[in-house]
Amino acid sequence: MHILIVTQYYWPEDFRINDLAIGLHEKGHDVTVLTGKPNYPGGSFFKGYGFFNKTNESCNGINIKRVPIIPRGRGSALRLIINYFSFVFFGVLLGPILCKGKYDLIFVYEPSPVTVGIPARFLGWFKKIPVIFWVQDLWPESLVATGTTSNKYIINVVGKVVKWIYSGCELILTQSRTFVESVKKFGISDERIQYYPNSAENLYKPVKYEKETCEKLGLPDGFIVMFAGNIGVSQDFETILEAAKLTKGIENLHWVIIGDGRDFERVKREVKRMGLENMFHLKGRHPVESMPEFFSCADVMLVSLKKEPIFSMTIPAKVQSYMACAKPIIASLDGEGGQVVKESGAGLVVGAESPQELANEVIAFKEMTADAREQMGLQGFEYYNENFERNMLIEKLEKMMLSSVKGIS
């Protein structure tokens, strides 16, 4: 097959679609990606990229077609709207010109915004080929949950856009089982919806703890609770910071944050205001390739989300990454994500926005033996291999794609 992937985010930005595209290419398929100029999460173009240059690239055997885009800046609501719609505008305008070849299907990756589906649907209509849409975030629910807007008129308009996008897709994939009912509300029949969870790149694997590695990475000695990923509104750093404050008197306990995002500077200010500088360490963004080494230095990995109905329906992708590295997990979230951690035996779960409970379970983890924590990590690793393993899921997707393309069996 010749597969056209439409995604607002792609390499050198760190998103799971990068590895999925490579996996499909490894299966012998021709893969082309239509995307924007990289600017996430920093808000400005990556070095070497500009509004007009690097329209055509190739990486790891993948053909990359880039449309101009207005960078997201500091992530204000207005700037994000401009960022989202600049991709829609240039995707619709230039997509047919950049992607002139013959394709068998279009695959859409949607971690937010849902508007990525607009140029995909247009291209599907223009080329008369099926569109498969992979839902990572539910819209318009995400707009309310992240505090972007509560305006009923805007929410209603976005809902109509979502319905139009979904209605033109051959298949809707959901990263969480609980997303299915939300997709069905838009009039999508059961046979057009499939559960398709996130996996983790092959680079995520268990790495043996080495003290020299941890020193090289600049990590503190002691018991380490590590969070890796986006630092944003959804991740509920208010609860994390408050829990850290509650553990302030415990010797050699450290909270280490690997990542960047819209809330990074605010969290940095709060750490200083709360007097947590000696135990709460913001390490910034690092290459995805270095994550297994960072994880090897942690005693427990942290995943958190705010207390919102939509977030209780999602499985944060970092859960799969943690499990693939055989690390024990403490989950501060409700719903399906927490259920996966419980079901797998990979760790301990507390309710969202419960700082005292989170602090208590961090202390409980610290008081466990290293063998007990290791056993939790191994149980998560086994669960990962049975439910989320990369090659297994790529084969599943390939079969769904083949069945969606007329004339290919």
Q: Give the pLDDT confidence of 369-401 residue by residue, as tens digits.
A: 999 999 999 999 999 999 999 999 999 999 999
% of the chain beyond a pLDDT of 70: 99
pLDDT of residue 409: 41
Q: Is the whole-model pTM more than 0.85?
A: yes
Give the per-residue SS3 of the chain: CEEEEECCCCCCCCCHHHHHHHHHHHCCCEEEEEEECCCCCCCCCCCCCCCCCCCEEEECCEEEEEECCCCCCCCCHHHHHHHHHHHHHHHHHHHHHHCCCCCCEEEEEECCCHHHHHHHHHHHHHHCCCEEEEECCCCCHHHHHCCCCCCHHHHHHHHHHHHHHHHCCCEEEECCCCHHHHHHCCCCCHHHEEECCCCCCCCCCCCCCCHHHHHHCCCCCCEEEEEECCCCCCCCHHHHHHHHHHCCCCCCEEEEEECCCCCHHHHHHHHHHCCCCCCEEEEECCCHHHHHHHHHCCCEEEEECCCCCCHHHCCCHHHHHHHHCCCCEEEECCHHHHHHHHHHCCEEEECCCCHHHHHHHHHHHHHCCHHHHHHHHHHHHHHHHHHCCHHHHHHHHHHHHHHHCCCCC
Fold observed for domain 211-387: Rossmann fold (3.40.50)
Q: Same topology for domains 2-199+389-404 and 211-387, yes or no?
A: yes
Phi, psi of 358, rounded to the nearest 5 degrees? -65, -45
* Cβ(241)–Cβ(276) below 8 Å: yes
Q: Give the pLDDT confidence of 155-204 residue by residue, as tens digits.
A: 999 999 999 999 999 999 999 999 999 999 999 999 999 999 999 999 99
pLDDT band of 148, cuts 50, 70, 90: confident
Between the CA of residue 168 and those of 188, 222, 335, 349, 395, what are the distances in Å? 10, 53, 30, 39, 25
pLDDT of residue 370: 96
Would you list the domain boundaries of the chain?
Answer: 2-199+389-404, 211-387
Please, what is the Cα angle at 336 between 13 and 334, to 5 degrees? 95
User: Would the pLDDT of 248 be above 80?
Assistant: yes
Phi, psi of 34, rounded to the nearest 5 degrees? -100, 120
Fold observed for domain 2-199+389-404: Rossmann fold (3.40.50)
pLDDT of residue 188: 96
Q: Give the pLDDT confidence of 38-83 residue by residue, as tens digits.
A: 999 889 999 999 998 999 999 999 999 999 999 999 888 889 999 9
- The whole-chain average pLDDT of the chain stands at 95
Q: Give the pLDDT confidence of 348-369 residue by residue, as tens digits.
A: 999 999 999 999 999 999 999 9
* Cβ(352)–Cβ(311) below 8 Å: yes
| Average pLDDT rounded to a whole number, residues 97-116 | 95
Q: Give the pLDDT confidence of 313-351 residue by residue, as tens digits.
A: 999 999 999 999 999 999 999 999 999 999 999 999 999
% of the chain beyond a pLDDT of 90: 91
* Interatomic CA distance for residues 112 and 110, integer angstroms: 5
